[in-house]
Amino acid sequence: MNQSTQSIDIRLIECAKTFSDGTRALEPLTLQIEAGETVVLLGPSGCGKTTTLRIIAGLESPDPGGQVLFGQDDVTNQPIERRNVGMVFQSYALFPNMSVEQNIAYGLTVRKMANDEKARRVAEMLDMMQITELAGRRIDQLSGGQRQRVALARAIAVRPRVLLLDEPLTALDALLRERLRVEIDQLLRELGITAVYVTHDQNEAMALGDRIVVMDKGMVAQTGTPQDIYYKPSNAFVADFIGTINRLRGTANKGMLQTAGGKLPWSGPDAGDIEVLFRPEDATIVALDAAELRGHVVASYFLGDRTKVLLDGIGEQTVVVETADRRQFAKGAEIGLIIKPDALMTLE
């Protein structure tokens, strides 16, 4: 697959978007996507992910002043058909009047590629997506997962400069989503193509993204690697949106943090009243006499590989912890916790 030769970087410079009905979908957005990198746009519904992707694709133009660059190439005023981008949609968007083969060949047909070369490329794509046996099928004879494979093959067949995917797995069931996600991940690495992947599913984002751009209300809330986003959320929105987070309030004094549930070792500066955060998996349930924090069980949920326990009396909101211990948690029982020393986070 000699595709990686020409991967390019994408730059959005001050791209805002106001729709004709006055909806402000994007505040001025500046974003750099490195060549060959997979960037995931993640955020709640309506935050502007699709709009950002469509501006990169050339399906929407940014408000005046915004600029889109592919490498050295200013494509701001180029329509999508001249940008050479591959697109994959949630709804697959396969041409129902064409067979699987014809769908994959479409971009090559439009480019007037010679028939034998085209046939070779289509065969290569069918093989790559492991759908060779579906070549002659009609689209309505395919399952959702097969359709999305065809859509990927169709987008990649033309060797696009960048690959843009808008929630490609959202319409599939959980098991298939997991499998195809792994395949897409391998595919993107193998091709070394610059890719922008839109999702509102954080697991997908974590697994696929070299970097994640968390968006909120038309703005970038944080950009960073999955680890950065998870362990060093830079604001309350990101902390709450990604995973589960627990909040404690307390006073920091001489290396100790005094909270409603007990005292914790504290390496940060002294403060009269601060808020600290920690992830459920960083708390461990221990015997009461060894505990730093004590709370009472509000509810517990057995999840198979672990049990999720909700506690009150520690923070203002219930604190969530998870344990692999095979024990029952009676409602109202007192439980002791310790927290990994480096797991406490603060927000600026």
Ligand X SMILES: Nc1ncnc2c1ncn2[C@@H]1O[C@H](COP(=O)(O)OP(=O)(O)OP(=O)(O)O)[C@@H](O)[C@H]1O
To the nearest whole angstrom, how small is the minimum distance from the Cβ of residue 185 to other proteins? Answer: 22
- Does 40 help bind other proteins (rule: CB under 8 A)? no
Composition of the chain by helix, strand, coil, percent to 5: 30, 35, 35
Question: Residues 40, 85, 205, 309: which binds other proteins (CB under 8 A)?
Answer: 85
Which amino acid is it at 82? Answer: R
Choices 86-94, 199-207, 224-232, 287-295 (CB under 8 A): range interacting with other proteins: 86-94
Q: Is the Cβ of residue 50 or residue 194 nearer to Mg ion in the bound state? A: 50
Q: Is the Cβ of residue 43 or residue 107 nearer to other proteins in the bound state? A: 107
- The residues pairing with 86 across neighbouring beta strands, listed in sequence order, are 163
- Does 91 help bind other proteins (rule: CB under 8 A)? yes
Q: Is the Cβ of residue 111 or residue 249 nearer to other proteins in the bound state? A: 111
Binders of other proteins: how many residues, by CB under 8 A? Answer: 30
Instruction: Say if strands 307-312 and 219-224 run parallel, antiparallel, or are unpaired.
Output: unpaired
- Does 168 help bind other proteins (rule: CB under 8 A)? no
To the nearest whole angstrom, how small is the minimum distance from the Cβ of residue 52 to ligand X? Answer: 7
Question: Residues 5, 45, 72, 96: which binds other proteins (CB under 8 A)?
Answer: 96
Question: Residues 49, 154, 177, 279: which binds other proteins (CB under 8 A)?
Answer: 154
To the nearest whole angstrom, how small is the minimum distance from the Cβ of residue 240 to ligand X? Answer: 17
**How many of the other CB atoms lie within 10 Å of CB of 174?**
8
- Does 93 help bind other proteins (rule: CB under 8 A)? yes
Q: How far is CA 1 from CA 27, 189, 207, in A?
A: 39, 11, 23
- Does 171 help bind other proteins (rule: CB under 8 A)? no
- Does 87 help bind other proteins (rule: CB under 8 A)? yes
> Are 323 and 306 in contact, with CB atoms under 8 Å apart?
yes
Q: Is the Cβ of residue 40 or residue 105 nearer to Mg ion in the bound state? A: 40
User: For the chain, how big is the Rg over CA atoms in Å?
Assistant: 25
- The residues pairing with 286 across neighbouring beta strands, listed in sequence order, are 336
Q: Is the Cβ of residue 2 or residue 20 nearer to other proteins in the bound state? A: 20
Site map (CB under 8 A) of other proteins, residues 112-151, x = contact = --------------------------x------------x
Which of 319, 298, 57 has its CA nearest to residue 166?
Answer: 57
Per-residue three-class SS string for 166-210? ECCCCCCCHHHHHHHHHHHHHHHHHHCCEEEEEECCHHHHHHHCC
CA–CA gap between residue 277 and residue 234 (Å, rounded):
12
**Coil, strand or helix at 135:** coil
- The residues pairing with 296 across neighbouring beta strands, listed in sequence order, are 312, 334
155 binds, among other proteins, ligand X, Mg ion, none (CB under 5 to 8 A by kind): other proteins
Residue numbers at the binding site for other proteins (CB under 8 A): 57, 59, 79-87, 89, 91, 93-99, 102, 106-107, 110-111, 138, 151, 154-155, 158
